[in-house]
Amino acid sequence: MHLPDHITKTAEFVQKKLEGESSGHDWWHTLRVWNMAKRLAGQTDAAYNIHVIELSALLHDIADHKLHDGDVSIGPKTARKWLEQLGVDEHIIQHVTDIIQNLSFKGAEVETPMKTLEGKIVQDADRLDAIGAIGIARAFAYGGYKLRGLYNPNIPPTMHASFEAYKNDQGHTINHFYEKLFLLKDRMNTPMAKEIAKERHLFMEEYIARFLKEWDDK
Ligand code: ADP
Ligand code: NI
């Protein structure tokens, strides 16, 4: 089968699987990441494999550890099974599953470097969708899904030093901005993503400033 067919088939598979998901990891998130990854790829002069980028973007949240009891192997495993069944070449499967494995944010003090340009692009696309107006909506959707409060001024943010600590934190959603979302603009890999992140970051800062101001309005 042709690689472009693999991409169409994979999009259909992911859409079916993630439709109706309510924690902000739905098909629309994947579709935005897929589109953004293609846009970022179009801005670079270096060589890359567009099929690896598209397959990784499409499959990156097929089975997120956050929604599967913290199991980080389930995403890459599910993606591998699907790609093997499609008959995709082993070296492409290996690259895609590698990207999926390393994509996720794992804590303020935990580095998650991407080895290849394809990985850097997909990671940027995923991170851009976690910030700005949509990022704010997704954070509260995720918090609600996990039964977390909006805010509690008595619980300050924690800069997690390990993935375990980050994963097990039960804090409120405003903390998530300090623990992850505000850090993302400086962790973008590509120049184009850095540019887009700036504006989205500013909007989040304004939003949080306003949220805290209203909280204290007496
Ligand atoms: P990552 O794999 O880097 O976590 P995802 O695409 O899975 O990226 O998206 C993570 C989404 O879940 C983000 O929009 C983020 O705001 C939200 N999220 C993750 N952890 C929390 C949390 N503790 N509180 C609120 N939102 C969260
Ligand atoms: Ni994602």
Q: What is the mean pLDDT of residues 203-215?
A: 98
Task: Please name which ligand lies nearest the alpha carbon of 134.
Answer: 1
Whether the CB-CB separation of 138 and 29 falls below 8 Å is answered with: yes
CATH of the domain at 209: 1.10.3210.50
Report the nearest atom of ligand 1 relative to the CA of 142.
26
Q: Is 107 in the pocket of ligand 1 (CB under 6 A)?
A: no
The confidence score (pLDDT) of residue 1 equals 61
User: Ligand 2 center to residue 213 CA distance, Å?
Assistant: 30
Cβ atoms < 10 Å from Cβ of 144? 15
Mean pLDDT of the chain: 95
Q: What is the DSSP letter of 187?
A: G
Nearest to 146 by CA among 128, 132, 167: 167
State the distance from the centre of ligand 1 to the C-alpha of 142, rounded, in angstroms. Answer: 7
Q: Which residue, among 59, 133, 137, 63, has the nearest Cα to 93 in the 3D structure?
A: 59
Atom of ligand 1 nearest to the CA of 138: 14
Question: Per-residue confidence at 69, pLDDT binned at 50, 70, 90?
Answer: confident
Ligand 1 atom nearest 33 alpha carbon:
6
Look up residue 190 and give its DSSP letter.
Answer: S
Q: What is the mean pLDDT of residues 131-137?
A: 98
Q: Give 33 or 2, the one with higher predicted confidence.
A: 33
The residue to mutate among 180, 182, 200, having the most atoms of ligand 1 within 8 angstroms of its beta carbon, is 180
Q: What residues make up the domain containing 67?
A: 3-216
- The CA distance from 128 to 186, in Å, is 12
Q: Is 138 in the pocket of ligand 1 (CB under 6 A)?
A: yes
Res 48: pLDDT: 97
Question: Is this structure's pTM higher than 0.75?
Answer: yes
The total number of structural domains in the chain stands at 1
Which residue's alpha carbon is at the smallest distance from atom 14 of ligand 1? 130
pLDDT at 36 over 90: yes
- Rounded mean pLDDT, 61-79: 91
Q: How far is the CA of 202 from the centre of ligand 2 (A)?
A: 21
